[in-house]
Amino acid sequence: FMLDHGVRSLERAGQHSSAGHDSKQAQHKEWLHYLRFRVELSKGNVVTATELLQEASGVPGSSSRMLVLYVQLCLCKQENFNCLSLGVTALQLLLQKLVEELQHNSQTSRLEETAVMVQQTLQKLVELAKNDGDKLKLFKQAADLMGTNEALSSTPTGHMEWMLITAYNRGIALAQQGKLNEAEQHIYAALNIQRAAKVLSVKEEEMKRALQIVKELAEEEETGSASYIPASLIQP
């Protein structure tokens, strides 16, 4: 009831706002949209909430900071499957918005802040990914983004190193299970992250050696003999 009342109050306030305050009106609309989303989410109307979430990312002039609120709201209720699914969608939309801001922002301090948020968002998406296929797509996306954005590839944080090590260690684990094709893809993705990033200190030669071992095993079709590959050539 209180949320519904808040939405109606904001709607009335918006109707009486003067036309000369475009910026305030835009912010007003963003918050009104967010409140509507909260109302629908609290009622369990997942379809409507999803539509509102999609609309929020497309509002002209909308910022990543507002989408962060949507993410936080969904993930704080992630024990609910529908909220978790919405959280992943919100993270994906946030990532798109952040990449846009990264491409169009020229202020150094803001670039670094946005780059860190991109890396954090990618890591969270990997953590929430349901399977290896989804994670692999994100590892590849991380390498692609760093390869095309100077600020992202040169901003030192632990998030990209976490992505690299996670991709690599998963590749080793898959190799030990005899899943050599998947293992090769994961180790290759880790190498691409290493090559795209300018600030990671992980040993590239060890990854290359592991990749070569996996390739040789795959060529020989010895799917059950990968157990001698070291469990972790890179320590997390």
Per-residue pLDDT reduced to its tens digit, 51-76: 888 888 776 666 788 888 888 888 87
Same domain? For 99 and 116 the reply is no
- Domain membership of residue 47 as a residue range: 1-104
Residue 13: per-residue pLDDT: 46
Q: Same domain for 117 and 95? A: no
> Quick one: 165 and 95 in the same domain?
no
Centre a 10 Å sphere on the Cβ of residue 214 and count the other Cβ atoms it contains. 26
How many structural domains is the chain composed of? Answer: 2
Same-domain check for residues 48 and 72? yes
Min mean pLDDT across 7-21, 64-78, 205-219 is at: 7-21
User: How far is residue 197's CA from residue 147's CA, in Å, rounded to a whole number?
Assistant: 8
Whether residue 175 contacts residue 226, with contact meaning beta carbons closer than 8 Å, is answered with yes
Of 86, 104, 122, the one marking the end of a domain is: 104
**Domain limit, last residue, from 75, 104, 133:** 104
Q: List CB contacts of 104: < 8 A, sequence separation 6 or more.
A: none
Strand ranges (DSSP E) for 77-167? none
CA atoms within 13 A on the CB side of 33: 22
Do residues 87 and 129 share a domain?
Answer: no
More confidently predicted of 4 and 79? 79
Residues 203 and 91 in one domain: no
Of the residues 104, 135, 164, which one is the last residue of a structural domain?
104
Please compute Rg for the chain using Cα positions: 22
Q: Looking at the structure, tell me whether residues 83 and 3 fall in a common domain.
A: yes
Q: What is the pTM for the complete model shown?
A: 0.78
* pLDDT number for residue 22: 60
Same domain, 84 and 134: no
Side-chain half-sphere CA neighbours of 26 within 13 A: 11
Q: Is the pLDDT of residue 37 over 90?
A: no
If asked whether residues 165 and 226 sit together in one domain, one would say yes
Name which of 13-17, 52-56, 57-61, 100-104 the model is least confident about.
13-17
Residue 3: is its pLDDT beyond 60? no
In this predicted structure, what is the pLDDT of residue 20?
45
Query: Do 46 and 132 fall into the same domain?
Result: no
Looking at the structure, tell me whether residues 220 and 169 fall in a common domain: yes
CB atoms under 10 Å from CB of 133, counted, come to 10
Q: How far apart are CA 177 and CA 127, in angstroms?
A: 21
Same domain membership, residue 136 and residue 58:
no
> Measuring CA to CA, which residue among 199, 84, 189 is closest to residue 135?
189
**pLDDT given at position 118:** 92
| Most confident by average pLDDT, 8-22, 51-65, 150-164, 194-208 | 150-164
pLDDT at 95: 93
- CA–CA separation, 186 and 182 (whole Å): 6
